[in-house]
Amino acid sequence: MSKITEITSFSQWEQLVSSIPATTLLIVSFHTPWAAPCAQMATVLATLASEHPVSEPPSSVWVSIDAEKLSDVSEMYNVTAVPFLVLQRNGRVIESVSGSSAVKVRTAIETHMQPGINASSIEGAANGIEQPNGDSKKDETPADPVKQKEELFKRLEDLVKAAPVMLFMKGTPSSPQCGFSRQLVGILREDSVKYGFFNILADDEVRQGLKEYAEWPTYPQLWVDGELIGGLDIVKEELGNNADLFKPFAVNGSDAMAP
């Protein structure tokens, strides 16, 4: 059963990369401790790792890296948002996955966890594989933008309905990254609202896509029962018109639900 090793220094990273065999698939998970989607992805990856037995030489090596602490490594792989997964073999990136889609991550890993791959076949394909700095000589078929948008909007539809009250904010409730998000968290706490949240700084796909999906260009955004209420000013205005706006969602309310 394979396990995930946390890389805590650049020297440890260099030693790892230089020591693994050319045939080994290196699976690198970039994360930050404050991003909720990263915690979810860690669980997914731990489960996937456990499905692959340890062998000699190893068919796969699984590691995780704090993208902020080891920024030098993050920059090598153009990590701009987390979770971010890199699959590498023989020093070459063969695929990367940005975001928290467990399906995409599993598919990528299973696709490249192929038996019978040897060093000669890897060397023969090396010129067509993406480099860690993001340069690639391989001509790739462009993804269908319409299909990509449909998939993103389906994901966003599920996200806004993940809890009766959903807050899309910069940062987390315990560590907001902007004043507006901090104020909105304060309002929800004051009214004892049970709510779910999503840190849009941790997933650029959601951050950009939700603006179009909601037809609302700024953050934070508050959603109730899958419908957009608005940002901080609109929430304040709605509360001014209806002081009981959040009463059904209060911790002691009859309809209160966990996020």
- Per-residue model confidence as pLDDT tens digits over 100-120: 888 889 889 988 886 443 333
Tokens of 124: 């023969």
- Residue 79 is classified by DSSP as -
Q: Can you list the residues of the chain whose pLDDT is less than 70? A: 114-143, 252-259
Sequence-ordered list of residues with C-beta below 8 angstroms from that of 129, at least 6 positions apart, any chain? 92, 93, 94, 136, 138
The pTM is what? Answer: 0.48
Q: Which of 188, 166, 163, 196 is nearest to 239 (CA)?
A: 188
Task: State the pLDDT at residue 71.
Answer: 85
* Chain centre to alpha carbon of residue 220: 18
Q: Which of 88, 113, 138 is the last residue of a domain?
A: 113
Using CB atoms within 10 Å of the CB of residue 171, give its burial: 0 to 12 exposed, 13 to 18 middle, 19+ buried. buried
Q: What is the CATH number of the domain that holds 61?
A: 3.40.30.10
- Residue 34 is classified by DSSP as T
Domain membership flag for residue 106 = yes
Do both 109 and 168 map to the same domain? no
Domain membership flag for residue 75 = yes
Q: Which of 95, 113, 131 is the last residue of a domain?
A: 113
User: Which residue segment(s) compose the domain that 17 sits in?
Assistant: 5-113
Task: State the pLDDT at residue 8.
Answer: 95
Tokens of 53: 């037995």
Task: State the pLDDT at residue 174.
Answer: 85
Domain membership flag for residue 30 = yes
Question: What is the distance between the alpha carbons of residues 177 and 216, in angstroms, rounded to a whole number?
Answer: 19
Helix axes 102-112, 36-50, angle to 10 degrees: 40
Do both 103 and 193 map to the same domain? no
Contact in structure between 48 and 85 (CB atoms under 8 Å): no
Task: Please give the torsion angle defined by the CA atoms of residues 181, 185, 186 and 189, in that order, rounded to the nearest 10 degrees.
Answer: 180
Do both 168 and 87 map to the same domain? no
* Residue whose token pair is 């959040």: 246
Do both 109 and 166 map to the same domain? no
Question: What is the distance between the alpha carbons of residues 234 and 225, in angstroms, rounded to a whole number?
Answer: 16
**Neighbour count for residue 160 (Cβ, 10 Å):** 22
Domain count of the chain? 2
